[in-house]
Amino acid sequence: MAEAQMKISDEVAIEIKNMNKWYGTFHVLRDIDLTVQRGERIVICGPSGSGKSTLIRCINALEEHQAGQITVDGTLLSSDLKNIDTIRKEVGMCFQHFNLFPHLTILENLTLAPIWVRKTPKKEAEETAMHYLGKVKIPDQANKYPGQLSGGQQQRVAIARSLCMKPRIMLFDEPTSALDPEMIKEVLDTMIELAEEGMTMLCVTHEMGFARQVANRVIFMDAGQIVEQNEPEEFFNNPKSERTQLFLSQILGH
């Protein structure tokens, strides 16, 4: 592994302080404190319903938090639309169900946001798009529609689509859990490559092999709280809390 490239700087990329969120009266996230340095690769795991998706969706304001502070790249996330727009431009996101735009070709999917949000000239945007399609190894599909691609290809297109906005932070919400086993690897390979290039990444995933290989920190969440966080080796070999042990024995046990 290219350890040299996977350097973590002292610069703070995301700072979450004492964040709380409710869905109606249901308290989903409790007192979340989390600081992410630039270049960190963080894997978030935990049982279903523990609030993992909600946490990373708060970071790019897809969900609103009700208490506490989130600062992304020095911009404080508030209800101010300007700040939200600034943050979304810097933060890319990949979803479990890819969420490609079915009415646009792959190339149009990739160039849409650069053209309209970044005001990149069309030609330049298409060159960038082809560059990233090359990186995710499907440049020959540029003129097809999403519906004509396999799941793994679609997820790689989705990653490329986010990358075209040249984000400084990438969020992944279970990017492989809607995929057939033989397609998971191709998506994980893309993500590993991205990590090696020094992208700051927050990944909700249950791919523990991926966590061991690229993560520098694993976070375990349960019932809306961060229960434990540690380096992957420590985390998997010496889980401290009982809940973590139980969770790990369940997902690694079989």
Partner 1 sequence: MSDKNSQSVSYVRETFLEQSPPPLKEAGVVKWMRENLFSGWANSLLTIVAIYFVVNIIIDVWPWFANGVWNTKSLAECREILQGANAACFSVLQERGNQMLFGIAYPADQYWRPTLGFVLLFIAAGPVLFNKLPKQMLYFSAAYPFLAFWLIWGGTILTPIMIALGLIAGYYAFTNVERLKGFALGVVAGVAAATVCVWLGGFISGALPGLIALEVIPSRDMGGFMLNMILGTICVSLSLPLGILLALGRQSDLPIIKGICVVFIEFIRGVPLITLLFVASVVLAYFFPPGTNLDLILRVIIMITMFSAAYIAEVIRGGLAALPRGQYEAGDSLGLDYAQNMRLIILPQALKISIPGIVNVAVGLFKDTTLVSVISMFDLVGAIRGPILGSTDWTGVYWEAFGFAALLFFVICYGISQYSQWLERQLRTDHR
Ligand X SMILES: Nc1ncnc2c1ncn2[C@@H]1O[C@H](COP(=O)(O)OP(=O)(O)OP(=O)(O)O)[C@@H](O)[C@H]1O
Q: Which of 14, 38, 51, 142 binds ligand X (CB under 6 A)?
A: 51
Residue 179: closest CA among 189, 165, 193, 167:
189
- Identify which of residues 85 and 231 has a Cβ nearer to partner 1 in the complex: 85
Q: At what angle do helices 151-163 and 181-196 cross, to 10 degrees?
A: 20
Phi, psi of 28 (to 5 degrees): -80, -45
Shortest Cβ 219–Mg ion spacing (Å): 14
Question: For ligand X, which stretch binds (CB under 6 A), given 46-54, 66-74, 83-91, 98-106?
Answer: 46-54
Phi, psi of 125 (to 5 degrees): -60, -40
Question: For partner 1, which stretch binds (CB under 8 A), given 39-47, 82-90, 126-134, 223-231?
Answer: 82-90
Q: Which of 18, 35, 49, 246 binds ligand X (CB under 6 A)?
A: 49
- DSSP sequence for 120-148: --HHHHHHHHHHHHHHTT-GGGTTS-GGG
| Dihedral angle sign, alpha carbons of residues 242, 247, 252, 254 | positive
Shortest Cβ 208–partner 1 spacing (Å): 26
- Is residue 62 at the binding interface for partner 1, with CB under 8 A as the rule? yes
Q: Which of 50, 54, 141, 162 binds partner 1 (CB under 8 A)?
A: 162
What does each C-alpha distance from 115 to 45, 59, 85, 158 come to in angstroms? 35, 24, 15, 17
Shortest Cβ 177–ligand X spacing (Å): 8
Q: Which of 4, 26, 140, 147 binds partner 1 (CB under 8 A)?
A: 147
Shortest Cβ 206–ligand X spacing (Å): 8
Q: Which of 148, 237, 241, 249 binds partner 1 (CB under 8 A)?
A: 148
Spatial separation of the C-alpha atoms in residues 66 and 84, rounded to whole Å: 15
Phi, psi of 227 (to 5 degrees): -85, -40
- Is residue 205 at the binding interface for ligand X, with CB under 6 A as the rule? no
Q: Which of 2, 7, 18, 23 binds ligand X (CB under 6 A)?
A: 23
Q: How many CA atoms lie within 13 A of 54 on its CB side?
A: 25
**Interface residues with ligand X (CB under 6 A)?**
23, 26, 28, 46, 48-54
